[in-house]
A and B are shown apart, each in its own frame.
Chain A
Amino acid sequence: SAVISQKPSRDICQRGTSLTIQCQVDSQVTMMFWYRQQPGQSLTLIATANQGSEATYESGFVIDKFPISRPNLTFSTLTVSNMSPEDSSIYLCSVDRTVYNEQFFGPGTRLTVL
């Protein structure tokens, strides 16, 4: 299995500010994914991040609001920009392990925007 860590684990932020969430994997992976889970809801994919290329965003998510970096094969960041209370969610990263045909998820970052 892959070991995935996220920082911060939780944060409380003021509206209008930005927060950058880090995702670190213990091994090199090609594809990383960022999800959002709003309170009481299922997971929604924000974007797919491949190393060396621009992230691919899902419908309803834009780069200006959720810029993503993928500087190497073990690390990625997601920034939630110009936050509003509607951005209060758990943000999770995941990685694909091709050999196992399964995704491994990080523990999530719980964000509260006041």
Chain B
Amino acid sequence: DAKTTQPNSMESNEEEPVHLPCNHSTISGTDYIHWYRQLPSQGPEYVIHGLTSNVNNRMASLAIAEDRKSSTLILHRATLRDAAVYYCILRAGAAGNKLTFGGGTRVLVKP
């Protein structure tokens, strides 16, 4: 499985944007970039995914570098509820393939 590298932790102030970087220099052409987050005492939840183009949804935006070797998850206005561990995962092909979790980034949101 292709590997991702994320910072261990990041801090943000409430209502400010958060930019979470992820490096995946060994990504293959068929790998999708997925982001999940895990709130305290809960199972992970899907945030967003993309292949080549930037993606937006109600939770976040995903900016993918042109060479696809890195990506950035953007939380536009952090709330206290966004405090979680965020995982950047490369998933081979389309749905049906396993997720391999790395260490993730622990996001702390300060009021």
Does more than half of chain B's interface fall in helix, strand or loop, or is it mixed? loop
Which residues of chain A have C-beta atoms less than 8 A from B99's C-beta? Answer: 33, 45, 94, 103
**Which residues in A have their C-beta under 8 angstroms from that of B44?**
43, 92, 94, 103, 105
Q: Are B46 and A102 in contact (CB under 8 A)?
A: yes
Contact residue range for chain B?
A: 20 to 34
- Selected from A42, A48, A94, the residue in CB contact (under 8 A) with B87 is A42
Interface size class of A (residues with CB under 8 A): 20 to 34
A42-B87, A42-B102, A42-B104 known; A105 vs B45 contact (CB < 8 Å): yes
Question: Assuming A33-B99, A94-B44, what are 7 further A-B pairs, CB within 8 angstroms?
Answer: A43-B44, A44-B101, A45-B101, A94-B99, A98-B94, A102-B34, A105-B44
